[in-house]
Chains A and B, each alone.
Chain A
């Protein structure tokens, strides 16, 4: 007989463990954006509501990656709160002229390139970097990213495309 019994207690302990380990980081990130203690706490709370939905993406024993993951969620949640409260224009900052034609075949792919691309990604604006990493590293769907970050799916698609273009442009400059 196949019993599909799943133990939820482990998942719950995992969430609370992540909270205890990373709440200060999340608070600091949120406070940096929101400059308000109560709003920063709100951001941490909302972040966890979203983190719980994709708990399987997190290995709580990998502090480094978990830190990066919760930071991305919290940063984007804080930005959403900021935009709601302050009601500023959130249009993506990107040149309106047509993109240059990029030819990936001109890029030599080797270890040095890998290191360069990694550096370029790190230096991207978090607006694009977070979406790019969530998709490429944590394998979240566009819908999951949209839900986690509080943005719509079209915005996710645009940011993914633009992030790739920006990375390749930068890489071609360096080569």
Chain B
């Protein structure tokens, strides 16, 4: 059986190489057929122009969809930079890079008071926690808060970071939507891995992400108090 496989593979390689050789030889011979005075009709030239124009239009629409998505991300970034420029005492923004990265759970110490349906600690309060979700991990530093809740194979993460920290969003094969959360402009993105809602309030950048329904993410986001 193994010998047959090797023979088949060798034969396939031979056929591939031979086909490429044949293709080249045919291309060379075809040069003779590419001669002669051909007068194309005006109608044909018009129709060809329409074909090229239609192909350009389709490509432009596709490019527009890509630009709309990236413009959404750029708008959030510009807002952050603009607000920083207005506030003399605000933290300096180094740079916010949106890079391709998925959330990785951290195993770290836990603390905080997690009552059913809500969460609060010295740093943050989340007034709405969906039914059945329990605190899995939380971590607080001077510039970051990370809290993860789980229920079976579902999870959501609440992140708060000071405005000069790097933020990552998984943008691979994603869609973006503009929303308002607590009076702040927000961007909701979704892809095959998870959904993510990001917004800021001039001092901090907030993010709720997870593999839960959009309406749950929005409810959680609206209940966040720092």
Determine if B98 and A2 form an interchain contact, defined as CB atoms under 8 angstroms apart. Answer: yes
Determine if A8 and B59 form an interchain contact, defined as CB atoms under 8 angstroms apart. Answer: yes
B7 contacts which of A24, A105, A129 (Cβ < 8 Å)? A105
Given that A44-B44, A118-B25 are known contacts, is A109 also in contact with B10, CB under 8 Å in the complex?
yes
Whole-angstrom distance between the Cβ of B27 and the nearest chain A Cβ: 4
Given that A2-B100, A12-B56, A41-B41 are known contacts, is A133 also in contact with B23, CB under 8 Å in the complex?
yes
Determine if A114 and B48 form an interchain contact, defined as CB atoms under 8 angstroms apart. Answer: no
Determine if B26 and A68 form an interchain contact, defined as CB atoms under 8 angstroms apart. Answer: yes
Determine if B48 and A19 form an interchain contact, defined as CB atoms under 8 angstroms apart. Answer: yes
Whole-angstrom distance between the Cβ of A58 and the nearest chain B Cβ: 12
Interface: A36 (CB within 8 A):
no
B99 contacts which of A2, A41, A115, A122 (Cβ < 8 Å)? A2
Determine if B33 and A1 form an interchain contact, defined as CB atoms under 8 angstroms apart. Answer: no
Interface: A121 (CB within 8 A):
yes
Interface: A91 (CB within 8 A):
no
Chain A residues near B56: list those with CB within 8 A: 8, 12
Interface: A3 (CB within 8 A):
yes
Determine if A114 and B66 form an interchain contact, defined as CB atoms under 8 angstroms apart. Answer: no
Question: B10-21: contact bitstring with A at CB < 8 Å (1 yes, 0 no)?
Answer: 110011111111
Question: Main SS of the interface on chain A?
Answer: helix
Question: Main SS of the interface on chain B?
Answer: helix
Instruction: Identify the closest chain A residue to B97 (Cβ).
Output: A1
Interface centre among B16, B31, B51, B73 (most CB of A within 10 A): B51
Interface residues of B in 51-88 (CB under 8 A from A): 51-52, 55-56, 59-60, 62-63, 66-67, 70, 73-74, 77
Whole-angstrom distance between the Cβ of B165 and the nearest chain A Cβ: 16
Cα distance A118–B44 when bound, in Å?
A: 37
Q: How many residues of A contact B (CB 8 A)?
A: 54
Instruction: Identify the closest chain A residue to B16 (Cβ).
Output: A136
Interface centre among B22, B27, B43, B59 (most CB of A within 10 A): B22
Interface residues of B in 70-125 (CB under 8 A from A): 70, 73-74, 77, 97-100
Given that A6-B63, A8-B56, A8-B60 are known contacts, is A1 also in contact with B98, CB under 8 Å in the complex?
yes
Cα distance A5–B177 when bound, in Å?
A: 19
Instruction: Identify the closest chain A residue to B74 (Cβ).
Output: A1
Cα distance A137–B25 when bound, in Å?
A: 13
Chain A residues near B21: list those with CB within 8 A: 114-115, 118
- For chains A and B in complex, what number of residue pairs have CB atoms within 8 angstroms? 139
Chain A residues near B1: list those with CB within 8 A: none
Chain B residues near A147: list those with CB within 8 A: none
Determine if B19 and A137 form an interchain contact, defined as CB atoms under 8 angstroms apart. Answer: yes
Instruction: Identify the closest chain B residue to A135 (Cβ).
Output: B19
Instruction: Identify the closest chain B residue to A49 (Cβ).
Output: B51
Chain B residues near A132: list those with CB within 8 A: 19
Given that A25-B33, A28-B34, A65-B23 are known contacts, is A45 also in contact with B47, CB under 8 Å in the complex?
yes
Interface: A157 (CB within 8 A):
no
Question: A64-98: contact bitstring with B at CB < 8 Å (1 yes, 0 no)?
Answer: 11111001000000000000000000000000000
A-B contact pairs, 30 of them (CB 8 A): A1-B70, A1-B73, A3-B70, A4-B66, A6-B63, A22-B34, A23-B38, A24-B35, A24-B36, A25-B33, A25-B34, A28-B36, A37-B41, A38-B41, A44-B44, A65-B27, A67-B30, A68-B23, A71-B26, A71-B27, A71-B33, A104-B11, A109-B10, A114-B18, A118-B17, A132-B19, A133-B19, A136-B19, A137-B19, A137-B20
CB within 8 Å of B: which residues of A?
Answer: 1-6, 8, 11-12, 15-16, 19, 22-25, 27-29, 37-38, 41, 44-45, 48-49, 52, 63-68, 71, 104-105, 107, 109, 113-115, 117-122, 129, 132-133, 136-137, 164, 167
